[in-house]
C-alpha cells in the first residue's frame, strides 16, 4: 500500500506538468508533423539545430518579456533595444575597446534603456504601452546616429565566436539560452523576488498592503527585460558579423507571441519560463517551416498575428470559465 502511495506521489509532479503544458506540447508536435509532411527536409538533425539557433534571440527576449507581462505590462521597445545593443558593441570595438569592456558596456546599455522604461511607467504612472511605443521609436532612431543608417561591421573574433562556434557538441548560442532559461526560471519560481512579481501582477493592492515596494519591482523587471534584449542583440550581431540598423524589427511580436502561447496571461500574475520556452519553440518552428515552404514574409506576419489573437482569446476564455 505504501509503495502505491509512493508511486502516486512521484507521479503527481508529472501529471501537473502534463496538465499545464500538455496543450502547447501537442501543438508543437502537430506543427512538426505538418511541416515534415510538407517538406521531408524539415525533420533532420541539421534543421533542428538550425531551429534552436534561430530561436535563441527570440527565446531570450521572450524571457524578459515574460517578466513584464507578468506585471500586466508590455514592452514594445525590445526590438529596438536589440538593435541598439548591437550598434553599441560595434562602436565600442571601433573605439578600441576589448571583448569584456564591450560586453559590459552593451549589457549596461540594455539595463539603462530598461531603467528608462521602468521609471517612466512606475514613477510617472504612464501606461507601459505608450511609454514603450515612444521609446521604441527613440531607441530605433539612436541606432542610426553613429553610421547614418549604414550597418557597422564587427570583426572581434571572440564576439563572432559566440554565434559561430560550438562547445561540447552544441553551438555556444544554445548553451547561453540554456543558462539564461535556468537563471530566469529559478529567479521567478524559487525566489522571494519571483513571488513578489507574481503578487504585484496578480493583485497590486494586495502587494502594496503586504509591504512590497511595487515601483521598485516594476523598475527592476523592466531592467531585466532590457538586459535580456541586450543579450539577444549580442547574439544577433555575433551571428550577422555586424550591427544592422533594422535588427530586431518585429521581434517584440515574436517575444509576446512566445510568452502568451506559453501561458503567460496579458492580465498579469500568471506565467512560467518553461511555457515561454515551449512557446518560443513553436514560433521558431513556424518561422523555419514557413521559410522552408517559401511562404512570403508578409504572409508569415499574418499567421503570427493570428496566432497571437488565438492565444489571447484562449486566455480570456479560460479566465471567464474560471469565474
> What CATH number should be reported for the domain holding residue 190?
1.10.3470
Straight-line distance from the first to the last Cα atom of the chain, in angstroms, rounded to the nearest whole number:
38
Of the pLDDT bands very low, low, confident and very high (cuts 50, 70, 90), residue 6 is very low
> Average pLDDT, whole number, for the chain?
89
CB 99 within 8 A of CB 158: yes
Give whichever of 179-188, 280-289, 291-300 has the largest mean pLDDT.
179-188
pLDDT at 12: 61
CA dist., res. 304 & res. 273, Å (int):
20
- Give strand pairing partners of 152: 243
Residue 293 in any domain: the answer is yes
Q: CA angle 34-274-39, nearest 5°? A: 15
Residue 132 in any domain: the answer is yes
Closest CA to 304 of 323, 320, 288, 321: 288
Tens of pLDDT, residues 291-323: 988 889 888 888 878 877 877 777 677 666 666
How many CB atoms sit inside 10 A of residue 163's CB?
21
User: What's the number of domains the chain is made of?
Assistant: 1
Q: Is 271 left (phi over 0), alpha (psi -120 to 50) or beta?
A: left
Residue 310 in any domain: the answer is yes
Find the helix or strand (DSSP H, E) in which 243 lies. strand 242-243
Residue 6 in any domain: the answer is no
Q: Give residues with Cβ within 8 angstroms of 132, minimum separation 6.
A: 74, 75, 76, 77, 117
Task: Output the pTM of the full model.
Answer: 0.90
Distance of CA 145 to the CA centre of its chain: 26
Residue 183 in any domain: the answer is yes
Q: What range defines the domain where residue 72 resides?
A: 54-318
pLDDT at 311: 74
CB 289 within 8 A of CB 39: yes
Of the pLDDT bands very low, low, confident and very high (cuts 50, 70, 90), residue 2 is low
Residue 272 in any domain: the answer is yes
Tens of pLDDT, residues 216-270: 999 999 999 999 999 999 999 999 999 999 999 989 988 998 998 888 988 888 8
pLDDT at 315: 67
pLDDT at 10: 45
pLDDT at 9: 46
Residue 283 in any domain: the answer is yes
pLDDT at 250: 85
- Cell numbers for 23, please give them: 496543450
Residue 10 in any domain: the answer is no
Q: Would you call 168 helix, strand, or coil by DSSP?
A: coil
CB-based contacts of 164-167 (< 8 A; 24+ apart in sequence): 164/238, 164/239
pLDDT at 17: 64
Phi, psi of 252 (to 5 degrees): -65, -35
Amino acid at each position: 500500500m505504501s509503495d502505491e502511495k509512493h508511486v502516486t506521489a512521484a507521479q503527481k509532479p508529472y501529471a501537473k506538468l502534463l496538465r499545464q503544458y500538455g496543450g502547447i506540447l501537442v501543438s508543437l508536435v502537430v506543427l512538426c508533423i505538418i511541416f515534415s509532411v510538407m517538406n521531408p527536409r524539415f525533420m533532420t538533425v541539421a534543421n533542428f539545430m538550425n531551429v534552436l539557433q534561430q530561436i535563441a534571440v527570440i527565446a531570450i527576449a521572450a524571457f524578459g518579456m515574460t517578466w513584464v507581462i507578468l506585471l500586466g505590462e508590455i514592452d514594445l521597445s525590445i526590438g529596438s533595444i536589440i538593435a541598439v545593443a548591437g550598434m553599441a558593441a560595434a562602436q565600442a570595438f571601433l573605439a578600441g575597446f576589448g571583448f569584456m569592456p564591450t560586453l559590459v558596456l552593451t549589457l549596461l546599455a540594455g539595463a539603462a534603456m530598461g531603467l528608462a522604461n521602468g521609471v517612466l511607467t512606475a514613477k510617472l504612472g504612464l501606461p507601459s504601452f505608450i511609454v514603450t511605443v515612444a521609446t521604441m521609436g527613440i531607441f530605433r532612431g539612436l541606432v542610426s546616429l553613429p553610421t547614418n543608417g549604414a550597418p557597422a561591421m564587427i570583426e572581434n573574433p571572440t564576439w563572432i565566436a559566440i554565434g559561430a562556434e560550438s562547445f561540447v557538441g552544441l553551438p555556444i548560442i544554445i548553451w547561453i539560452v540554456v543558462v539564461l532559461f535556468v537563471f530566469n526560471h529559478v529567479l521567478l519560481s524559487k525566489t522571494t523576488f519571483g513571488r513578489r512579481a507574481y503578487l504585484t501582477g496578480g493583485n497590486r493592492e494586495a502587494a502594496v498592503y503586504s509591504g512590497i515596494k511595487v515601483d521598485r519591482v516594476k523598475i527592476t523587471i523592466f531592467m531585466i527585460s532590457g538586459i535580456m534584449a541586450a543579450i539577444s542583440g549580442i547574439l544577433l550581431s555575433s551571428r550577422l558579423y555586424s550591427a544592422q540598423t533594422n535588427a530586431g524589427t518585429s521581434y517584440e511580436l515574436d517575444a509576446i507571441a512566445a510568452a502568451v502561447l506559453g501561458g503567460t496571461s496579458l492580465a498579469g500574475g500568471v506565467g512560467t519560463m518553461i511555457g515561454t520556452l515551449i512557446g518560443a519553440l513553436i514560433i521558431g518552428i513556424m518561422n523555419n517551416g514557413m521559410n522552408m515552404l517559401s511562404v512570403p514574409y508578409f504572409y508569415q506576419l499574418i499567421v503570427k498575428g493570428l496566432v497571437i489573437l488565438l492565444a489571447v482569446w484562449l486566455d480570456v476564455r479560460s479566465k471567464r470559465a474560471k469565474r
